[in-house]
Amino acid sequence: MKILAINPMTTPEYSWWWEKRINGNIPVSSQEDAQPIEEYLQVVLSELEIIKRDFEKRSSEVGKKIKQLEEEKMRLGLDVDIHKLEAEKLRKGKNKAKEDLDSLRTDYKKLHLSIRTASLGKTSEQWRQEIKEERTKADHWEKNSKTPELERALWRKAW
């Protein structure tokens, strides 16, 4: 085969492409332009690291929130227990006061009945009035009883 050597009619870009082609015009990449696999994987790892860190951050926040909620739940549980104890104490106090009131009512009824039985159901004003009446009667009786005795004594002396 003879090659005709005439001034080439090709451009420099075509020449460059012609030199690079192998197996049916597939250009071979040069090592200068290619990104090393380590750098490529580092980018991928960096994205994974970002996702992993974000996940860990969110997981940490959720863990803290869970701890706070558990502490609040425990505090609320203690508050509920305290309120139950206070309610029970108040119920017992109420029942005791009710029993005491019932006992006082019973004692009052018994005392009132015994006062009625003994005729002591009068007020102090009624007692004063009754005493005054009795004194008046006594004074009147004494006057009436002394006057006839005096008259008899005088009558006897005169005779």
Q: Is residue 159 part of a domain?
A: no
pLDDT at 87: 93
Query: Phi/psi at 22 (nearest 5 deg)?
Result: -145, 150
User: DSSP characters for 18-77?
Assistant: HHHEETTTEEPPPTTTSPPHHHHHHHHHHHHHHHHHHHHHHHHHHHHHHHHHHHHHHHHH
Query: 120-141, pLDDT tens digit by residue?
Result: 656 778 878 888 998 998 887 7
Q: Is residue 11 part of a domain?
A: no
* pLDDT averaged over every residue in the chain: 79
Strand, helix or coil for residue 133:
helix
Q: Is 70 exposed, middle or buried (0-12, 13-18, 19+ CB in 10 A)?
A: exposed
Q: Is residue 121 part of a domain?
A: yes
- Residue 2 is classified by DSSP as -
pLDDT at 113: 82
Structural domain tally of the chain? 1
Its domain, for residue 112, covers 30-133
89: pLDDT confidence band, cut at 50, 70 and 90? very high
Q: Is residue 145 part of a domain?
A: no
Q: Is residue 18 part of a domain?
A: no
pLDDT at 83: 92
What proportions of the chain, in percent to the nearest 5, are helix, strand and coil?
Answer: 80, 5, 20
Bridge-partner residues for 24, per DSSP? none
Q: Is residue 13 part of a domain?
A: no
Q: Is residue 10 part of a domain?
A: no
Query: 28-75, pLDDT tens digit by residue?
Result: 566 666 666 776 666 666 788 889 999 999 999 999 999 999 999 999
Q: Is residue 41 part of a domain?
A: yes
